[in-house]
């Protein structure tokens, strides 16, 4: 593993597949022109709308999105994480919230089905029931090992509140952990940054957190602040509140330095 630049993309996805894919392509292009070799797209990047609309269009969203990710990876010669999109589950009327890691040859490297579903009554008056339309994945997330990019772990959004999932990724040797998200504005202002920093610090790893931002549809407001955080918990890049990219260096020497200075992973008792 050598040093390289990674990008966390920030989007305002809406209930329009083609418009979202066009926005994603522009931002991938922007990231690559700035030197990124690893690019993460946020949760719900190809479609963000009412759950019933998403379910009704799930076949088209799934097929178009997978084709898009493979095309973009090959065109721009970059490894891409598609951070969460619906893939229909046969004979259930539900979908898996699916994250897909694609290499620069357009080959699938890893696939993760979001395990923790967002069923929450948020104090701002909004209620979310992801489980109404999404089936939870039942497998622990994968870690993909790359000589060029390091060991890459995958999670999605609400997973970030469950540290045992990241401990699993750490135990599998993860150097970099993706947390693509569509965090609500209300919870994001208090919890987003601190949770990401905690996951980075306790596992002494890099966190790449692509994000949704702004008004996506109806009353759905997302927090933004796509980030890249180093193993000490330092915020290396923050995309703010507008669509764009957060870009920072993933440096194996920094990873080794922090793990020597704070060897907590070697001191685990339980």
Instruction: Please report the DSSP string for 130-156 in residue order.
Output: GGGTBPPP-SPPPEEEETTTEEEEE--
Selection from 152, 71, 59 nearest residue 107 by Cα? 71
Angle between helices 163-171 and 185-203 (to 10 degrees): 30
> First CA to last CA across the chain, in angstroms?
30
Torsion of CA 17, 18, 21, 25, to 10 degrees: -170
Give the residue carrying structure tokens 């920094």.
Answer: 254
List the catalytic residues.
Answer: 43, 114, 157
């Amino acid at each position: 593993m050598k040093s390289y630049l990674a990008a966390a993309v920030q989007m305002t996805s809406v209930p329009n597949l083609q418009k979202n894919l066009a926005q994603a392509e522009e931002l991938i292009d922007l990231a690559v022109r700035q030197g990124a070799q690893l690019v993460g797209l946020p949760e719900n990047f190809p479609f963000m709308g009412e759950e019933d609309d998403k379910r009704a269009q799930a076949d088209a969203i799934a097929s178009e999105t997978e084709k898009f990710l493979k095309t973009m990876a090959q065109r721009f010669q970059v490894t891409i994480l598609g951070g969460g999109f619906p893939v229909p589950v046969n004979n259930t009327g539900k979908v898996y919230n699916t994250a897909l890691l694609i290499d620069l040859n357009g080959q699938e490297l890893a696939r993760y089905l979001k395990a923790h579903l967002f069923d929450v009554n948020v104090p701002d008056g909004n209620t979310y029931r992801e489980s109404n339309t999404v089936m939870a994945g039942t497998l622990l997330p994968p870690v993909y090992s790359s000589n060029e990019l390091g060991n890459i772990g995958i999670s999605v959004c609400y997973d970030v509140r469950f540290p045992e999932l990241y401990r699993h990724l750490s135990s599998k040797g993860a150097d970099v952990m993706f947390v693509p998200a569509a965090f609500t504005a209300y919870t994001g202002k208090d919890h987003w940054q601190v949770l990401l920093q905690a996951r980075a610090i306790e596992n002494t790893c890099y966190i790449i957190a692509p994000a949704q931002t702004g008004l996506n549809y109806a009353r759905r407001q997302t927090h933004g602040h796509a980030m890249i955080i180093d193993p000490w918990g330092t915020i290396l890049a923050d995309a703010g509140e507008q669509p764009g990219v957060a870009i920072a260096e993933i440096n194996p020497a920094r990873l080794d330095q922090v793990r020597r200075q704070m060897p907590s992973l070697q001191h685990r008792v339980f």
